[in-house]
């Protein structure tokens, strides 16, 4: 994409930021504008796979991936700072949805390890996530287990080891819609270990029995694909938490990171808003600027207000997450639901204000139009967020 993302709107969400966050917001926004935005906008899956790796190196070298891990492993704070991750995703998503995805997966793959991993597995992977030398994956979804995570059929069978070999698990099954499939250095993987229990394992991407089945091509370039586990053996030390903790690990991870999806949606909406504002200011029809027409003004007013409301919900949820407040589940679900639906509308309005230019494939707003759609689906669809919100409302 080719235009400056501008400076972040810190004032609206200042109540949820520390002084350090304000500095971070400015520096990550400048970085995204100078280093990420000028990257070529790739338009096919193969190029996206190559560029995702390049972006990881750039993010790692600049230190941004350190925010995905705790201080003991190269990060900056004892707990992963969700507010910081939101600021980073907001800035990256405004510059490049692909760069946002790369950073998002470092968080998604690493957080379960940070929260539930033993020291050995933490030492093995988290420093590499932090410096960008390892790309993370998160392998939960299956063909018949999307929203209904508990329906998964991938199995992990335990063995006790022999002849001095550590006990472990043999994983069989396949996963679909996996970001970084075929690219990731490890997959934080969910599998069934009993009739009613799921467990979580860290599986190296190069382990014997991990097979990249193939890419799934999206409308916006994104390294998505299917992977299969075929008699893939991992040691017991690769298990996160206790056997049977997998569902809780997955849901806790999503609770903590949903505000970051909301932040990415806000970043995309903010970029679309900037593009629409610039066009409405410069483009003249019927002898005046588009910005002089009340119908354009109405759209811009609605876009700005909706975006500000979403950002408030987003940073409120992120703040609750780092402060350890109750109500994180409710706030996270509200933020993701509101912001991703908002971003869809705002990007669509931006396309409308740009007219024909807005559907030219090379235009950033067209790219955003294609990229923003998936946010209402991944990490829990809008309908699932509504169910979570309703469950919390009616909780005794
Ligand atoms: C770009 C992208 C990246 C992704 N990356 C990953 C990844 O890295 N790792 C991973 O594990 N997964 C990933 N996913 C998968 C994603 O999490 C799932 O697509 C999502 O959870 C929805 O599952 P599904 O697609 O099977 O839809 P389904 O669950 O089949 O849902 C279809 C429709 O039915 C609705 N629905 C389902 N259940 C209910 C209900 N109880 N009440 C009302 N409506 C309902 C849904 O809201 C949706 O509208 C990714 C998906 C996309 C699009």
Confidence class of residue 281 from pLDDT cuts 50, 70 and 90?
A: very high
C-alpha 379 to ligand 1 mean position (Å): 7
- Domain end among 135, 159, 184: 135
What per-residue confidence (pLDDT) applies to 213? Answer: 98
Is 90 a residue of the active site?
A: no
387 and 254 both lie in a single domain: yes
pLDDT at 8: 76
CATH code of residue 344: 1.20.140.10
Identify which has the larger pLDDT, 44 or 309.
309
pLDDT number for residue 238: 98
Is the confidence at residue 4, as pLDDT, over 60?
no
How far does residue 139's CA lie from ligand 1's centre (Å)? 13
CA nearest to 85, candidates 55, 107, 60, 63: 107
Q: What is the CATH number of the domain that holds 176?
A: 2.40.110.10
- Gap between the Cα atoms of 239 and 339, Å rounded: 34
pTM: 0.97
Determine, yes or no, domain membership for 4: no
Domain membership of residue 198 as a residue range = 137-244
Q: What mean pLDDT is predicted for residues 292-311? A: 98
**How many percent of the chain have pLDDT more than 70?**
98
Q: H or E stretch including 278?
A: helix 246-282
**pLDDT score, position 44:** 85
Answer yes or no: do 102 and 194 share one domain: no
The residue that leads in pLDDT, 106 or 40, is 106
Using an 8 Å Cβ cutoff, are 192 and 155 in contact? yes
Counted domains in the chain: 3
Beta-carbon count within 10 A of 314 CB? 33
Report the pLDDT value the prediction gives residue 163, as an integer from 0 to 100. Answer: 67
Residues 319 and 339 in one domain: yes
Residue 234: pLDDT over 50: yes
253 and 388 within one domain: yes
Q: For residue 46, what is the domain's CATH number?
A: 1.10.540.10
Higher pLDDT, 116 or 160: 116
Ligand 1 atom 11: the closest Cα is on which residue?
140
- Does residue 217 carry a pLDDT above 60? yes
What is the predicted pLDDT for the residue at 43?
A: 82
Q: Quote the ligand 1 centre to 340 CA distance (angstroms).
A: 14
pLDDT of 3 higher than 60: no
Q: Are residues 279 and 348 in the same domain?
A: yes
Examine the fold and report which residue of 135, 162, 182 is the final residue of a domain before the chain moves on.
135
Average pLDDT over residues 129-135: 98
User: Is 215 in contact with 248 (CB distance < 8 Å)?
Assistant: no
**Residues 6+ positions from 187 with CB-CB distance below 8 Å:** 109, 136, 137, 138, 139, 175, 178, 202, 203, 205, 210, 227
pLDDT at 165 over 90: no
Residue 164 or 123, more confident: 123
Helix, strand, or coil here: 378?
coil
Cβ neighbours of residue 319 under 8 Å, at least 6 residues apart? 16, 82, 83, 325
Q: Ligand 1 pocket check: which of 141, 253, 376 to mutate, most ligand atoms within 8 Å of Cβ?
A: 141
Residues 202 and 189: their CA atoms lie apart, in Å, by: 6
pLDDT for 2: 42
pLDDT for residue 160 is more than 90: no
**Nearest residue CA, atom 24 of ligand 1?**
146
Q: How far apart are CA 382 and CA 395, in angstroms?
A: 20
Residue 174: is its pLDDT beyond 70? yes
Q: What pLDDT is recorded for position 396?
A: 75
Catalytic-labelled residue, pool 166, 379, 383, 392: 379
Say how many Å lie between the CA of residue 196 and the centre of ligand 1.
Answer: 21
Residues with beta carbon inside 6 Å of ligand 1? 138-141, 146-147, 177-179, 218, 222, 224, 374, 377-381, 383-384, 387
Averaged pLDDT for residues 372-387: 98
Q: Write the residue with the smallest CA distance to atom 25 of ligand 1.
A: 146
């Amino acid at each position: 994409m080719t235009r400056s993302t501008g400076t972040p709107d810190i004032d609206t969400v200042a109540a949820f930021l520390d002084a350090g966050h304000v500095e971070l917001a400015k520096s990550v926004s400048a970085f995204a504008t100078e280093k990420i935005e000028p990257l070529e906008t790739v338009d096919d899956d193969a190029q996206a796979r190559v560029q995702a790796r390049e972006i990881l190196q750039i993010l790692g070298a600049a230190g941004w991936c350190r925010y995905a891990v705790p201080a003991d492993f190269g990060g900056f704070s004892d707990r992963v700072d969700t507010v910081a991750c939101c600021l980073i995703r907001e800035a990256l998503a405004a510059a490049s949805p692909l760069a946002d995805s790369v950073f998002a997966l470092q968080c998604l793959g690493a957080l379960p390890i940070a929260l539930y991993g033993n020291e050995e597995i933490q030492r093995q992977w988290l420093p590499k996530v932090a410096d960008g030398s390892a790309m993370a994956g998160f392998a939960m979804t299956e063909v018949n287990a999307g929203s209904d995570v508990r329906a998964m059929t991938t199995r992990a069978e335990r063995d006790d080891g022999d002849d001095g070999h550590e006990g472990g698990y043999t994983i069989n099954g396949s996963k679909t819609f996996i970001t970084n499939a075929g690219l990731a250095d490890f997959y934080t993987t969910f599998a069934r270990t009993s009739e009613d229990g799921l467990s979580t394992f860290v599986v190296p991407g190069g382990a014997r029995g991990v097979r990249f089945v193939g890419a799934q091509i999206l409308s916006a370039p994104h390294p998505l694909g299917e992977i299969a586990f075929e008699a893939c053996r991992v040691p017991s030390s690769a298990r996160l938490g206790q056997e049977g903790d997998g569902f809780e690990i997955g849901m806790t991870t999503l609770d903590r990171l949903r505000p970051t999806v909301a932040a990415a949606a806000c970043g995309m909406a903010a970029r679309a808003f900037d593009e629409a504002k610039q066009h409405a200011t410069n483009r003249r029809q019927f002898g005046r600027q588009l910005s002089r027409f009340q119908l354009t003004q109405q759209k811009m007013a609605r876009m700005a207000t909706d975006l500000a409301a979403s950002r408030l919900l987003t940073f409120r949820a992120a703040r609750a997450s780092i402060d350890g407040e109750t109500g994180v589940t409710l706030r996270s679900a509200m933020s993701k639901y509101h912001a991703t639906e908002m971003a869809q509308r705002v990007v669509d309005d931006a396309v409308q204000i740009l007219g024909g230019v807005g559907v030219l494939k090379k235009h950033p707003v067209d790219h955003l139009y294609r990229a923003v759609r998936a946010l209402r689906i991944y990490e829990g669809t809008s309908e699932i967020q509504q169910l979570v919100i309703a469950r919390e409302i009616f909780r005794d």
